[in-house]
Structure 1
Amino acid sequence: MTPLRPHARSGPPLSRRHLLAGTAALLGGAFAAPALAGCSSTAAASGITDISYWHLLSGGDGITMATLVADVEKKLGDVSVKQTVLAWGAPYYTKLAMASAGGRAPDLAIMHASRVTGWAPGGLLDPWDLDLLAEFDVTEDTFKPRIWEKGFTDGRLYSVALDSHPFITFFNTDIADKAGVLTSDGTLIETSTPDEFVDMALEMQAVTGQHGLSWGYLNDGAQLWRLFYTLYRQHGADMVLETGKPAEYDEDAALESLKFMTRLVDGKIAAKNGDINNGIAEFAGQKSGMLFSGVWELRTMQDAGIPFDATIIPTLYGTPAVYADSHTFVLPHQSNPDETKRRAAYEFMATLLKGSIDWAGAGHIPAYLPVIEDPAYDELIPQAHYANAADLINYDPPAWFTGSGSDFQTYFLDAIQGVMLGSTTPEAGFTSFITRINTLLAKPNPVTA
């Protein structure tokens, strides 16, 4: 493995779970959010504080969130929450940025933890007050260290995590049992090297007659990046993207990770050129033994009625690591916030965190430690079987252009899809990616420029 060094060579598409009915109407609704300062006389007269809340959670996640919001409103009694749901990815972040910059921001919003780095320095977010959070039992010791620390930028807390949602392994317990790769306690046999994992996948392929592993990458930079960054970080390698300087990375770890990924898509272990929707359908149809995807596919597999379990991605290169992101609560910037509404936003957020065991039903790992330490969480299967991923998560390398819903993963797709298809070498593909990243690093954060 080569050491970290500068190297001067050189947003994912929407998945089916993120598509919203009536997107145009929902996007237009963003501009219906009321101005934030003043105008609270109606709330004061009724004894109810109205707060506005934006998020990008749709499908099953959206239904779960709506239920959680209703539960919090019932518990508090004096807070009414108006939800605005926008399309996942660029539409959401564009609208939220415009609202924050234009003085029409909501009282509270959801952002991916990986996006906060690019927003906080430009004044689009207000920091959380640690003392006020503590009044509502939200403190450092109620979160895993990696998750709590990710909320800080320049020494101030700008995001409070609702969850972590890692990239994991789903596996069919019947197929694994028939393939002889299931232990007596129902877990997959340990694989600690690439060769051991390949052998296990081939044993499953012998049972299914189709593939041992389902994983889709075609036209999907998010899927490519999630697996690559998991394997890359398992080498113990870091990636530093600092504005004004060339990227620092471990080239040997990157190339080895890419070569292993191409080894998987041989048409036998996994499909040569499949996309994630085909991969999900294949696993749900019991035509493969494993699936690499995010925890958000849990409900899909439950609905399919197949025998399955889930675990973290096997550690194949020595260092336990998984790619993940978090849904986090942020305070979009307000130049003159209504203090009653702001306090209500704190109380609403904290109360939702404390009741987030229902959020675990969607597959996500709740970030609030008292929830996952409750014995009730141990009864959630398979969620409890991959809860340890919260100790191993790795967010995108911080930079103004990285993070879920950004173009960063699309740049990775542009450079690396040809590697997976065999039309270019890992060396050429990764050099192309780094060249593009270095071009971005040479530019200032447009939010702060």
Structure 2
Amino acid sequence: MTPPPDLTRRQFLTAASLLAGTAALAGCAPASASGSTAQTLQFWHLLSGGDGVTMSQLLDAANAAQDAYRIRPTVLAWGTPYYTKLAMAGAGGRAPDIAIMHATRVAGWAPGGLLDDWDLDRLAELGVDESTFPAPIWQKGIVGGRRFSVALDAHPFVLMFNTDICDAAGVLDSDGRLKPASTPEQFLDQLREVGAVAGGHALSYGYLGDGAQMWRLFYGLYAQHGMAIDLPVGGEMGIDRDAAVETLMFMQSLLDGEIAAAQNDYGTAIAEFATGESGMLMTGVWELRTMQNAGLPFDATMIPTIYGTPAVYADSHSFVLPHQADADAHRRDLTYRFVADMLQGSFGWAEAGHIPAYLPVTESSEYAGLLPQAHYAEAAEHVVYDPEAWFTGSGSNFQGEFGAAVQGVLLSGDDPGAAIDRFTDRVNTLLAQPNPADPEGRWQ
């Protein structure tokens, strides 16, 4: 991919526009390569806590398994600080060899030249192609007909449940799995049965002040109607208002003080379930380690398909090639080998709760015995990501805008139709603004 002559300046302006209003950029230069060898690859990621420990273990294993490269990781703070520094590194053409990015952020970055695209032939030579990924995950990495990301995983929003409480409530089948519920009424009835046995609530769901939590549940349930939200450049948001209102009303019905607490933040909901006070929890798979460390008897599954179409909200940690003004061909080839090695060795990533994107891992007999992960692995075939626009994705303001529009519905019974209208107006305002990475609309 040959950049136009003004690319460096345009990339810098792109990065500055995308990140306007964020923290100051002091100290954002990429790690120095001084003293490194051609085989040392710089890898930036934003994984901390348990995920960070697991990633360190995977990198140690990758380094020890071969002699061609050594990975030098740099860990930056999640969210705006990470994306600020990565954007500025790409804008200057002095980026790391490889980085982790949420799949939902890629569409807003690729048009501005902040990322380099992948060579599909080279990936295929290393055993990485369309046949080795679930269809929705593979497709998500394509922008403008070119591949800009390669997913390591899917991390969906799921339903965890206390097996002791749910067994006592009679909602488990003979295999100890949660009995299916195929309508909103069936799921509500199931929750009431659990609530009759649980010491606290049937369900823990934290949402206060957390637009991401509200959006994750909403968009997964909305997609179960067989619909998606469309965000056309320069147009108006395409949303089925009736389905959106119905989804919000169902969410509202969960928060009656008996099924779930009417007012709960994320941390309180996690603690309630982890201490055995509730029977179920709606959360991301990233909380798997939390519940395992709590010694809780639990399992996990997809949130029930109550509107007809299996769908689960998710994002993916994905490998990207931040733009380099003069990429070294040998180092770039080693980077491809590293990504292939990580995908093929991602069973350890599954142990942390994430669903590996690489099908030979999730289809293995070893993975089939990994519980509860194997019980929600099917979610990878039904993932739905944020609707695609330059302003959506993990760590962006889009989900916060949704939360600001609808929290009153969940908290105090505000009119859900009016909330959807507020959200629609705000999104239409954003759609009227050009993508800072593509101000001339060349990628429309």
Residue 430 of structure 1 and its aligned partner are, at CA, apart by 1.1
Q: Write the distance in 2 (CA, Å) between the matches of 1:361 and 1:29.
A: 35
Q: Write the distance in 1 (CA, Å) between the matches of 2:256 and 2:235.
A: 38
Pairing partner for 1:237 from 227, 238, 247: 227
Q: Write the distance in 1 (CA, Å) between the matches of 2:166 and 2:296.
A: 13
Q: Structure 1 residue 183 and structure 2 residue 181: aligned?
A: no
Query: Which range moved further: 347-356 or 415-424?
Result: 415-424
Q: Write the distance in 2 (CA, Å) between the matches of 1:71 and 1:383.
A: 22
Q: Write the distance in 2 (CA, Å) between the matches of 1:311 and 1:234.
A: 16
**Counterpart in the other structure of 1:325:** 315
Q: Structure 1 residue 105 and structure 2 residue 103: aligned?
A: no
**Counterpart in the other structure of 2:250:** 260
**Counterpart in the other structure of 1:398:** 388
1:76 is paired with a residue of what secondary structure?
coil
Q: Structure 1 residue 135 and structure 2 residue 125: aligned?
A: yes
Residue 81 of structure 1 and its aligned partner are, at CA, apart by 1.2
2:263 is paired with a residue of what secondary structure?
coil
Give the AA of the match of 1:174.
D
**Counterpart in the other structure of 1:425:** 415
Structure 1 gaps of 5+ residues are 1-23
**Counterpart in the other structure of 1:159:** 149
Pairing partner for 2:32 from 31, 34, 44: 34
1:310 is paired with a residue of what secondary structure?
strand
Structure 2 gaps of 5+ residues are 1-22, 440-444
Give the AA of the match of 2:37.
A
Residue 122 of structure 1 and its aligned partner are, at CA, apart by 1.1
Give the AA of the match of 1:54.
W
Residue 131 of structure 1 and its aligned partner are, at CA, apart by 1.2
**Counterpart in the other structure of 1:43:** 37
Q: Write the distance in 2 (CA, Å) between the matches of 1:355 and 1:81.
A: 15
Residue 104 of structure 1 and its aligned partner are, at CA, apart by 2.0
Q: Write the distance in 2 (CA, Å) between the matches of 1:406 and 1:271.
A: 28
Residue 32 of structure 1 and its aligned partner are, at CA, apart by 4.3
Residue 134 of structure 1 and its aligned partner are, at CA, apart by 1.6
2:320 is paired with a residue of what secondary structure?
strand
Give the AA of the match of 1:43.
T
Residue 43 of structure 1 and its aligned partner are, at CA, apart by 2.1
Q: Write the distance in 1 (CA, Å) between the matches of 2:75 and 2:420.
A: 36
Give the AA of the match of 2:265.
D
Residue 423 of structure 1 and its aligned partner are, at CA, apart by 5.4
Structure 1 runs (4+) greater than 4 angstroms displaced: 27-30
Is the CA contact 2:30–2:95 (under 8 Å) kept in the aligned structure 1?
Answer: no
**Counterpart in the other structure of 1:3:** none
Q: Write the distance in 1 (CA, Å) between the matches of 2:103 and 2:194.
A: 36
Q: Write the distance in 2 (CA, Å) between the matches of 1:414 and 1:349.
A: 38
**Counterpart in the other structure of 1:194:** 184
Q: Write the distance in 2 (CA, Å) between the matches of 1:338 and 1:70.
A: 24
Is the CA contact 1:34–1:104 (under 8 Å) kept in the aligned structure 2?
Answer: no
1:350 is paired with a residue of what secondary structure?
helix
Alignment of 1:82-97 (within 5 A): 82-97=72-87
Q: Write the distance in 1 (CA, Å) between the matches of 2:120 and 2:96.
A: 20
Per-residue CA distance 1:399-426 (angstroms, 9 max, x = gap): 0000011000000111111111125210
Alignment of 1:30-429 (within 5 A): 30-34=28-32, 43=37, 49-422=39-412, 424-429=414-419
Change (3 A) 1:150 1:407: same
**TM-score, normalised with respect to structure 1:** 0.90
Is the CA contact 1:247–1:438 (under 8 Å) kept in the aligned structure 2?
Answer: yes
Is the CA contact 1:29–1:84 (under 8 Å) kept in the aligned structure 2?
Answer: no
Paired positions, count: 416
Residue 247 of structure 1 and its aligned partner are, at CA, apart by 0.6
